[in-house]
Amino acid sequence: MSARQILIVEDERPIREMIAFALKRAGYGVQEAADCRSARLMLADQRPDLLLVDWMLPDMSGLELTRLIKRDRDTRELPVIMLTARAGEADKVAGLEGGADDYVTKPFSPRELLARIQAVLRRTSTGTTDETISIGGLDLDKASHRVSTGERTVALGPTEYRMLEFFMTHPDRVYTREQLLDRVWGGNVYVEERTIDVHIRRLRKALEEFGHDRLVQTVRGAGYRFSAREE
Ligand code: CA
């Protein structure tokens, strides 16, 4: 198996080199970009397995870059981890709503960064079971990670896909945010429960277009449930 490729988008060279060094030592292949323009050029003909994007970049913000990546059909499946000196709750939520799959607050240790990378890759990597699950008019193909309704494909980010896959394999049961964190994020201690709500919102929004958002139900005071039955 060839090494997983990670694209680092960071203008501060010492930080970029420190990250590159730690990643290479951990066995990853590394690509480096100092601004969004070169990152986008690299993405046009190379396909990394994950992007690390700094928030503060010279030509456009890392948040804008993430939005562009997640809006583009060719790149929206790419997991993105944002690097940010902004530790405020509003900024974190903005990062996640912009499409980031996770964020790491500076200063961080290489060890913490590696743990986050592994967690994101684990939950976004392609499964091997070829099974199709159908509930309430939604079809989920575990082999291709394709979600469809009728002939139409439902476009989902990697985290929303993973969440939907969990829900569809565990329907009609209420899960608390804590349980979802554990089952969908693999017990990644760094993720806050609030993060769940952001991804639930995104998942509903993606399903809304097809009239299937009601499958993801809020159970007041308890958590969330996926069900084709009425609430
Ligand atoms: Ca920077």
Q: Cα–Cα distance between 213 and 203 in angstroms, integer?
A: 8
Distance 49 CA to ligand 1 centre (A): 22
| Dist. CA 17 → ligand 1 center (Å) | 13
**Neighbour-count burial for 86-103, b at 16+ CB within 10 Å, e otherwise:** beeeebbbbbbebbbbbb
pLDDT of res. 127: 46
For the whole model, what pTM was predicted?
Answer: 0.57
Q: How far is the CA of 22 from the centre of ligand 1 (A)?
A: 18
Q: How far is the CA of 15 from the centre of ligand 1 (A)?
A: 9
Output the CA 101–ligand 1 centroid distance in Å: 19
Measure 56 CA to ligand 1 centroid, in angstroms: 4
Domain boundaries, the chain: 5-124, 132-226
- Average pLDDT by stretches of 10, the chain with 231 residues: 85 96 94 96 88 94 92 85 79 77 89 91 62 89 88 92 92 86 72 87 95 93 88 59
Q: In what order do the strands lie in the sheet with 223-226?
A: 174-175, 223-226, 216-219
pLDDT at residue 231 in the model: 59
Q: What is the pLDDT of residue 227?
A: 92
CATH class of residue range 132-226: mainly alpha
**What is the signed CA dihedral for 96, 98, 103, 107, rounded to 10 degrees?**
-130
pLDDT for res 185 = 80
Q: How far is the CA of 10 from the centre of ligand 1 (A)?
A: 5
Instruction: Report CA(93)–ligand 1 centroid distance (Å).
Output: 19
State which fold the 5-124 domain adopts: Rossmann fold (3.40.50)
What spacing in Å lies between the alpha carbon of 35 and ligand 1's midpoint?
9
